[in-house]
């Protein structure tokens, strides 16, 4: 991702939750942590903030400690989402994933999944 877009997203979507001034001196160092996280983790953090608001924790450590999300393998699922599905490999294990998730996790896509 372009660094300017990444920083813009960081400022406008992430940092606004921490802009109360208590941690204003942590903005730059937290951005360095933000850059090191995967796109999936950054997306999960933004989703968490939108749902729950900012935690009462130093944002640097919150970004650092946020658990890395894992993709949801739909192989064997009772019901499938109504969106494009693909056969893909994640960390050496094949499965059925949504196309969006396969792309987010940069999986090796083997082909479309059709019922």
Task: Dump pLDDT digits (tens) for 48-96.
Answer: 999 999 998 999 999 999 999 999 999 989 999 999 999 999 999 999 9
Tokens of 65: 């400690």
pTM: 0.80
Buried b (16+ CB within 10 A) or exposed e, 19-42: eeeebeebbeebbebbeebeebbb
* Phi, psi values for residue 56, rounded to 5°: -90, 60
Q: How far is CA 31 from the centre of its chain?
A: 15
The reported pLDDT for the residue numbered 1 is 67
SS3 6: helix
């Amino acid at each position: 991702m372009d660094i300017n877009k990444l920083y813009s997203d960081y400022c406008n979507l992430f940092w606004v939750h921490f802009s109360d001034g208590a941690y204003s001196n942590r903005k730059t160092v937290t951005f360095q942590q933000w850059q090191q996280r995967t796109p999936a983790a950054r997306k999960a953090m933004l989703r968490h903030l939108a749902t729950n608001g900012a935690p009462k924790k130093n944002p640097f450590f919150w970004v650092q400690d946020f658990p890395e999300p894992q993709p949801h393998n739909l192989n064997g699922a009772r019901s499938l989402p109504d969106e494009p599905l693909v056969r893909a490999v994640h960390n050496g294990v094949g499965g059925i994933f949504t196309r969006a998730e396969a792309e987010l996790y940069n999986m090796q896509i083997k082909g479309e999944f059709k019922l």
